[in-house]
């Protein structure tokens, strides 16, 4: 058992932009019509509560917005908003709003036949840019009519990962810049309040793309509202059968990569300080990345969440739930899906990492301590923090927290680790049922909640001293708050628990 | 740490009448109109599921059934079923049926003014026995019209604890026997399918009452369908402020008392083998009995539930929830209430003891092992059991269970003890808030669930050997079932959790 | 069939203070613990939505706030907020806030034993005014701690109908003034933001009381925030069996009585313009007033609601639902209860009158027409109004409404009358079941919804001309709004309904 | 106004197989994953309650059951039950079970590329019949493991409409017979309790197919458990824009066609009396058949439902709801969809026809009267019936019903016609909004409920005489039952409604 010590100085101030609940990712929008998806999102919203949700496929054929037809020898266009209205109605009912990713291409508007994924999203440029921007603006007009002026505050991003040939035909940079420019100008002309971002790239060749994009914008006199990119943190995976195994990359190396984007942006006078949105991030970038379901994923992401806000205004975990079809229908309950929750609303360990950061944010935004394995904030009546352990031996962390009085303090800990909150292990131990029954799901779920413990500590010499154990791959959330004992007349707890 | 060993022989057969879910108690029926009561009952029914519910006050004035009025100089009687219908509608909707305790006395039908409790139940004999039996029969007629023939299977009991002067004026034995006889005969004449029991006594002077009651019945040629009595297991409490502190009695002494009733009944040729129902049981007999909220209560009752069925057909825990007013409105969240759940549906440790016995019953009714601190059943593919520890030092119990093959077995344990499932402690640690906010209730609730753990064990030489730790005042439920590993193509759990 | 004509000039402006949704009444607060009460309130809030709710019995013993106990030979006081917190939690969850009526007297704080109602509210002055104001302030302190600063905006009223000896011992005016003064001063001293009103009288001897109260306040230098009184509109009822039959009074006579209060208040320089709140109003003032369940009640109140705002800032219908116990537990489904809805959430015709006024308010607050049987408002794209018929022959009202264009308009009518929305009649026709089954309740409910009809009318010469039939005791809500036909490609409604 | 007279003789017995609730149709199974679909089904099940549900696409790629993969140079097969389990779990939760239609072809198992519909169901024979039957049996094995022995009672049908080249490549009869034989034999060999039917044809060339199918079965010694076919009743539609307009066919002509199938089956000694299932029926056979949303559809189907049971054991309306994608995503709220309910759970008039037949079935199965526009059943305490009017002038039908006593009877009518229950008209009148807001949906829904009315009729000379108006395209449900008036003490309805 390792030992560590943390001394907290309440007057210290650490930069800590905890924007954990700004946005979350989702598989293609069409899946938002399904019940399982909405139940998972309802759970996530009730427990954590994100402001925005971003997914692919807004213009893909299953959402069915764009239609051409022949009339009197002419080709005409009409739009169908039946499904997109239903989807956004559901989102708003759950207190979440769309982060509009404009893509992919409707079949009838596409210039080619290249598709991506099991669900066949067309990834070619429009055959006619005017028809594309007409479609985009018609949608915004429709949304504003239905949902009111607030629509102008919904973020917009142009396309997804054009730097990959699968996502954008030949990864053609010039063509993407054209798409961005046409779209950006059309939207700003319609209503300049809309915020539009790009280039939505992933980590492949990122520096080249960011520089080219900014140079293009500078040249064309465009000022994007945000620079957007993605952030995944594993090495290239090994595929065995249905599953992808991959090694985690060094956290510092990944943070450095993010910093390089920040630096490039800031190197342009015109764009210095422009907000950066990580419109996707996770560990593994495949929907069969088995690491997603593990406790180490939760711990690794705890460190990520303590730092992502340093160089980025926002960052959106990909994805909230396991309803996802990019590589087909999941073959089994636990299958390495991107989700924070598995089918049947089983929270994975990683779910709790996000839950803890949200609790931390609700507690306070004044950070007083941060190291590689901890972040702590304070408010008037106490402290709250998150501790984690990424694949190291079990550790006891001694915390010395300064306080201004000598009263009692209540320490609450919520622990998620391989011993006490490990649904993957329970599922494995009962035989890895691919399609669990309702009873099996309930059983697995009963092993998926943090262990909550409490203790009372008296301040001594202006310091509250406590010890918190963080086991290998564990994440621990704690609050330490001043305690006021208000026993009812005649109630003596010590006697209650000892007299029998 | 103590060590203990249990060797399970699957061919052994132990008498074990696990009737845990037959009936549960409730405060006066009028409280069944309230939302908090129904929410608690809904939770209990969903998680455990009892068949019957028994409470006082069916004929008390708040249910408002009996009314006299003057017309043309005559006193006439009319009945009002508005509330009792609403109550029973609610019960049936929750899948539970009434165990009809006939009492107390409507004010207008009473021969005196003595009342009991904060809610003033009149506990005097009827001023007119004919009007009493008319009222009883009119109710049964009404219920049968509304709910159908199934009503004849709802158990009936005449009055409550007439051996106490508070519950029955002067504890007048002859008067009670008269009440029983008149009621019994009227009901049997109306429809002999109804099952009617008595004398519903508590442990005070019980042998005298049981003998006198049976002798009376014999003399009068009555054959009650069940003998009913109560069973509490604490010494006389010390009252401090609002609260009652009392010592637990020796379990064996209490079992012996129950056996003595069984023996008395069986000593009559006419009544030999007549079913006995414990229509109330718990540890403390006061609604401010602080022990009810503790872990030791859960452990003590685990032993009770392993044995109560030996001499009694049925036994009904008093009560399912904390909505209760006999000594006034509860002053605080945890106040020693009788309930398995506290306000806001916080399960107390004792709730889990009942939950575990229900799970055990669903698993199997073939008992293969029982000692003072354990009970184990088996079915084809494995074993299930409950272990407990009543105020002794932490213990590791080694279980050796015979099996017929050499495959792997999954051991699931669900542990409730002072460390991992102790909502009372968490509430105390945050200062004992009398009226917790919603957030405080959720926090306390998060410390009120069992810790679920699993492991896989390979049978060796036809024996599965496991170790289960049962801490002081802990209750542990386990299942050990044959495991069939059905890994999906390419899924290798060991690699999943180690490769990163 | 009578004929009537209404010509609407959109430039006309009529004074019309439509404050229909400010407050609604309820039986004693303790009933807010019950499920049926909360289900009815949930329905009313979902369909209409009131801001405040006012009921008796805040300090009555069933809510159980005030307690005295002996300790060391001294009498001490303690408070119990378990139930009041539960009640207010429920209210806030349903989007409604308490209008705090301070009363009646806790038994232990009372100077006498006089009680009122089946539920025995003590209506005597406090034995000790200091203990009374301590209790009041302690409650406000507690509420502010639990619910925050918004509590200071919850209206407060001192006691209920002190001008009746049943509600206030001997209707002792001086004693009431003392109560008002002590309470008013204590609250203002604690937090002057609280708004406190009185004297909460009913119509008996009202002028004398109002004058004396205002003179007292003037003399004592008190400035109440509101003057409060009640408003019922029937003659003294005839009681037959359980039920009260009474004749409606002339509406104008009742409006004149309200005007007289307004005039008295305005005759004091100090109090001129002080808001008046009718903290209770209805037709019959008994909970067995059979008229409450009829269609004429709905029509009579339609006229009331068109005028009550003229002299009064606010007016609160007594009561939202039929869960009520002042004269005992209801004997039958329809029993003349005060409620807008009957048990099982059956809306009575009167419910729709309130619903229609709420819809009218949501439509617009610009009144352009009002007569004894109609009120009409306008906004940019059309008109909305309510028409009624109080016990006169069926009438066709021709409406000529000026518009500024020649497009089509959609007229929607929702009709509630004895033919199409009369649950009382259906219940009678099926035999007046006192305790309907679930199926009977659903059947009755199916006859309790307005008939919704629509038609399209083309404007001619700047006028839309329509005819609306208002049958005897009917209430009709309508909207007339500009229509924009947006048929989908190929959809031809006339062909759809004629081609087969 | 037409007049008609019906004289009901309670001793008359009419053959009337009212099997309205046996089965209902649905768009492809994959849509059962969506929330809107499940909400509509929940509503339909709560209000009507069907036993089985039949839809296409069980084996289509979106359900994703069948998968081939390469391993070690070999092609292997694996199955994925994630979605089908989720679908059937949802069905069972709603109290409905699948009527298993085996089809269409998984892409990897298909012999060709022909697809049907927007959602591209492959309609070619299997490339390998062994792999097809392996897949079928594997599914049944899986379902039995998950859902138990009840699975053997779920009906099975082989393919859909093979007599149309779009649904079965070239409408190749011999190939279909092969498919039927292989499938039938494999299932019966696995578990002979399964009931398997075919040939699932529509009305095109039906006699030829039925004869050939039966001859084939006779020749091969197969005994199908049911003969299945479809039944639509409109002429070939005219397509305008998105919509299909078509004329209704003569009912008698359609009934005669059904009778011809019955006669063919009965002409075989081996198959005489074999049950016939109409596994689909409706008026129009297109999902844009505008007639589906009208009142005439409801009236026309009322006649159908009175007769379909004469020659067929079962008949399944195509479909319960409007979530359907065969010709793409619906363009507008009302679009001629097959559903009984429109999006947002707006019941169409036709919904009520089914609701009324279910109510009739619950009332009694003893038919005492039937004509072209009426069907009436009786039980001990009265009568119930359905009257309709298919596009004729409004009619008053006088009913003379014999009774055995001279008491009062309650007549309840529920009327659905173009005046009082016509959501399509209201939607049209407000401008035909394609994507109604929540408020618009609620408004339309408020015009979509039957008008419920009641009256009391005294029997005279052993006859109850009543008049029921059935307007053009109206359907009226009625019950006439003996009335027992049980007025509470003092309640006098006539006085209640007249004294004010």
Nearest alpha carbon to residue C104 among C167, C175, C25, C54? C167
DSSP string, C92-128: HHTT-EE-EEE--B-GGGBSS--EETTTTEE-S-BS-
C295 and C388 share one domain: no
A348 and A443 share one domain: no
Task: Count Cβ atoms below 10 Å from residue D221 Cβ, excluding itself.
Answer: 8
CA distance A496 to B293: 9
Is residue D320 one of the residues assigned to a domain?
yes
Last residue of a domain, which of A363, A389, A417?
Answer: A363
pLDDT band at residue D193 under the 50/70/90 scheme? very high
- Give ∠ CA B214-B218-B223 in degrees, rounded to 5: 80
C113 and C180 share one domain: yes
Q: How near does any CA of chain C get to the CA of B64, in Å?
A: 7
Question: Catalytic one among B101, B161, B280, B418?
Answer: B161
Task: Count Cβ atoms below 10 Å from residue A363 Cβ, excluding itself.
Answer: 18
CA distance C410 to C25: 36
What helix, strand, coil percent values describe chain A, rounded to 5?
A: 35, 30, 40
Residue C418 falls in which region: left (phi positive, over 0), alpha (psi -120 to 50) or beta: alpha
Across the interface, of A483, A486, A495, the residue whose CB is closest to B434 is A486
Across the interface, whether the CB atoms of B438 and C89 are under 8 A apart is answered yes
Q: How near does any CA of chain B get to the CA of D151, in Å?
A: 23
Q: How near does any CA of chain D get to the CA of A287, in Å?
A: 16
Across the interface, whether the CB atoms of D487 and C432 are under 8 A apart is answered yes
Nearest Cα residue in chain C from B78: C331
Across the interface, whether the CB atoms of B332 and C81 are under 8 A apart is answered no
Across the interface, whether the CB atoms of D240 and C426 are under 8 A apart is answered no
What is the domain extent for residue B388?
Answer: 2-12+366-483
Q: Which residues of chain A make contact with C78, given a CB cutoff of 8 A?
A: 489
CA distance D24 to D11: 33
Is residue B384 one of the residues assigned to a domain?
yes
- Residues D424-454: pLDDT tens digits? 999 999 999 999 999 999 999 999 999 999 9
- Residues C296-336: pLDDT tens digits? 999 999 999 999 999 999 999 999 999 999 999 999 999 99
Q: Which residues of chain B make contact with C324, given a CB cutoff of 8 A?
A: none
Is residue A490 one of the residues assigned to a domain?
no
Q: Which residues pair with B105 in a beta bridge?
A: B122
* Predicted ipTM of the assembly: 0.96
Across the interface, of D239, D243, D456, the residue whose CB is closest to C491 is D243
Nearest Cα residue in chain A from D31: A34
B89 and B197 share one domain: yes
Q: Identify the residue among B81, B489, B490 best suited for mutation to test binding to D, counting D beta carbons within 10 A and taking the highest.
A: B489
Mean pLDDT of B358-387: 97
C8 and C36 share one domain: no
Is residue C467 one of the residues assigned to a domain?
yes
Tell me the three state secondary structure of residue A309. helix
Answer whether the bond into residue C314 is a cis peptide, omega within 30°: no
Is residue D500 one of the residues assigned to a domain?
no
Last residue of a domain, which of D336, D363, D390?
Answer: D363
C-alpha distances in angstroms, C107 versus C103, C132, C327?
12, 12, 20
Is residue A115 one of the residues assigned to a domain?
yes
Task: Indicate if the pLDDT at residue D138 is higher than 90.
Answer: yes
pLDDT band at residue B327 under the 50/70/90 scheme? very high
Could you tell me the sign of the dihedral formed by the alpha carbons of B129, B131, B135, B138, in that order?
positive
Nearest alpha carbon to residue A264 among A223, A311, A197? A311
Across the interface, whether the CB atoms of A412 and B247 are under 8 A apart is answered no
Tell me the three state secondary structure of residue B344. coil
Alpha helices in A34-76 (DSSP H): 35-47
Q: Which residues of chain C make contact with D487, given a CB cutoff of 8 A?
A: 432
Task: Indicate if the pLDDT at residue C405 is higher than 90.
Answer: no
Average pLDDT over all residues of chain D:
97
Which residue in the block uniquely carries the two structure tokens 């306390």? B444
Q: What are phi and psi of A188, to 5 degrees?
A: -65, -35
CATH number of A415's domain: 2.60.40.1500
C114 and C254 share one domain: yes
Question: How many domains are there within chain A?
Answer: 2
Mean pLDDT of C376-396: 96
Q: What are phi and psi of A442, to 5 degrees?
A: -65, -40
Mean pLDDT of D33-57: 98
CATH number of B196's domain: 3.20.20.80
> What are the residue numbers of the active site of C?
161
Is residue B254 one of the residues assigned to a domain?
yes
Catalytic residue status for B161: yes
- Residues D114-133: pLDDT tens digits? 999 999 999 999 999 999 99
- Residues A50-101: pLDDT tens digits? 999 999 999 999 999 999 999 999 999 999 999 999 999 999 999 999 999 9
D172 and D197 share one domain: yes
At residue D41, the pLDDT reads 98
Across the interface, whether the CB atoms of C488 and D332 are under 8 A apart is answered yes
User: By percentage, how much of chain C surpasses pLDDT 90?
Assistant: 98
Instruction: Strand C451-458: give its sheet, edge to edge.
Output: C367-371, C374-379, C382-388, C475-482, C408-416, C451-458
Mean pLDDT of B138-153: 98
Burial class from Cβ neighbours inside 10 Å (0-12, 13-18, 19+) for residue B489 reads: middle
Residue A207 falls in which region: left (phi positive, over 0), alpha (psi -120 to 50) or beta: alpha
C315 and C439 share one domain: no
At residue D404, the pLDDT reads 85
CA distance B271 to B274: 5
pLDDT band at residue B445 under the 50/70/90 scheme? very high
Answer whether the bond into residue C319 is a cis peptide, omega within 30°: yes
State both tokens at A407.
């009263």
pLDDT band at residue D406 under the 50/70/90 scheme? confident
| Residues in Cβ contact with A366 at an 8 Å cutoff, skipping those fewer than 6 apart | A13, A377, A378, A379
State both tokens at B38.
């129904």
| Positions of E strands within D246-365 | 276-282, 314-317, 341-342, 346-347
CA distance D464 to D483: 12
State both tokens at D439.
């408020």
Q: Which residues of chain C make contact with B434, given a CB cutoff of 8 A?
A: 81-82
CA distance A74 to A84: 27
Q: Which residues of chain D make contact with B69, given a CB cutoff of 8 A?
A: 489
C285 and C311 share one domain: yes
- In this structure, are strands B463-470 and C23-26 parallel, antiparallel, or unpaired? unpaired
Mean pLDDT of C68-74: 95
- Which of the other chains make 3 or more beta carbon contacts under 8 angstroms with chain C? A, B, D
Nearest alpha carbon to residue D421 among D393, D452, D442, D397? D452
| Positions of E strands within D29-93 | 52-55, 66-71, 74-79
Across the interface, of D69, D78, D489, the residue whose CB is closest to B78 is D489
Nearest alpha carbon to residue A30 among A93, A106, A95? A106
D100 and D194 share one domain: yes
Last residue of a domain, which of B306, B337, B363?
Answer: B363
pLDDT band at residue B406 under the 50/70/90 scheme? confident
D218 and D337 share one domain: yes
Q: How near does any CA of chain B get to the CA of A443, in Å?
A: 8
Is residue D246 one of the residues assigned to a domain?
yes
Tell me the three state secondary structure of residue B34. strand
Are B131 and B77 spatial neighbours (Cβ–Cβ below 8 Å)?
yes
User: By percentage, how much of chain A surpasses pLDDT 90?
Assistant: 98
A352 and A391 share one domain: no
- Residues D48-60: pLDDT tens digits? 999 999 999 999 9
At residue B404, the pLDDT reads 85
pLDDT band at residue A406 under the 50/70/90 scheme? confident
At residue C406, the pLDDT reads 84
Task: Indicate if the pLDDT at residue C404 is higher than 90.
Answer: no
Are C136 and C152 spatial neighbours (Cβ–Cβ below 8 Å)?
no
At residue A1, the pLDDT reads 83
Could you tell me the sign of the dihedral formed by the alpha carbons of D218, D224, D225, D228, in that order?
negative
């Amino acid at each position: 058992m390792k030992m560590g010590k943390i001394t907290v100085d309440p007057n210290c101030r650490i930069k800590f932009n905890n924007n954990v609940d700004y946005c979350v990712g989702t598989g293609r929008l069409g899946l938002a019509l399904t019940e399982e998806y909405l139940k998972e999102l309802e759970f996530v919203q009730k427990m954590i509560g994100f402001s925005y949700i971003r997914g692919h496929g807004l213009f893909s054929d299953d959402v069915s917005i764009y239609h051409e037809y022949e009339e009197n020898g002419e080709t005409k266009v009409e739009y169908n908003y039946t499904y997109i209205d239903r989807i956004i109605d559901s989102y708003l009912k759950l207190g979440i709003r769309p982060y509009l990713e404009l893509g992919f291409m409707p079949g009838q508007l596409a210039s080619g036949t290249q598709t991506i994924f099991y669900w066949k999203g067309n990834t070619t440029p429009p055959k006619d840019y005017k028809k594309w921007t007409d479609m985009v603006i018609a949608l915004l007009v429709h949304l504003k009519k239905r949902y009111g002026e607030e629509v102008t505050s919904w973020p917009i991003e142009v396309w997804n990962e054009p730097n990959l040939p699968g996502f954008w035909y030949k990864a053609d940079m010039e063509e993407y810049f054209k798409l961005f420019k046409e779209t950006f100008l059309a939207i700003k002309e319609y209503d300049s309040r809309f915020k539009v971002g790009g280039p939505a790239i992933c980590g492949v060749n990122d520096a080249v793309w960011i520089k080219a994009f900014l140079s293009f914008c500078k040249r064309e006199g465009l000022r994007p509202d945000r620079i957007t990119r993605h952030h995944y943190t594993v090495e290239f995976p090994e595929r065995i059968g249905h599953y992808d195994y991959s090694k985690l990359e060094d956290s510092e190396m990944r943070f450095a990569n993010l910093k390089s984007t920040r630096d490039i942006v800031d190197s342009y006078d015109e764009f210095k300080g422009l907000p950066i949105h990580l419109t996707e991030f996770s560990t593994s970038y495949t929907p069969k990345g088995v690491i997603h379901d593990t406790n180490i994923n939760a711990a690794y992401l705890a460190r990520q969440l303590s730092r992502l806000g340093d160089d980025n205004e926002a960052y959106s975990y990909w994805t909230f739930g396991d309803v996802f079809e990019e590589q087909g229908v999941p073959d089994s309950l636990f299958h390495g899906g991107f989700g924070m929750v598995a089918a049947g609303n089983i929270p994975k360990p990683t779910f709790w990492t996000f839950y803890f950061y949200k609790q931390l944010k609700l507690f306070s935004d004044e950070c007083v301590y941060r190291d590689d394995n901890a972040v702590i904030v304070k408010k008037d009546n106490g402290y709250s923090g998150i501790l984690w352990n990424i694949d190291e031996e079990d550790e006891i962390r001694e915390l010395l927290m300064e306080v201004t009085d000598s009263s009692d303090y209540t320490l609450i800990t919520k622990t998620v680790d391989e011993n006490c909150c490990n649904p993957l292990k329970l599922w494995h131990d009962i035989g890895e049922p691919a399609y669990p029954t309702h009873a099996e799901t309930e059983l697995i779920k009963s092993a998926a909640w943090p262990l909550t413990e409490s203790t009372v500590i008296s301040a001594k010499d202006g310091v509250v001293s406590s010890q918190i154990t963080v086991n290998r791959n564990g994440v621990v959330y704690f609050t330490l708050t001043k305690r006021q004992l208000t026993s009812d007349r005649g109630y003596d707890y010590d006697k209650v628990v000892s007299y029998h």
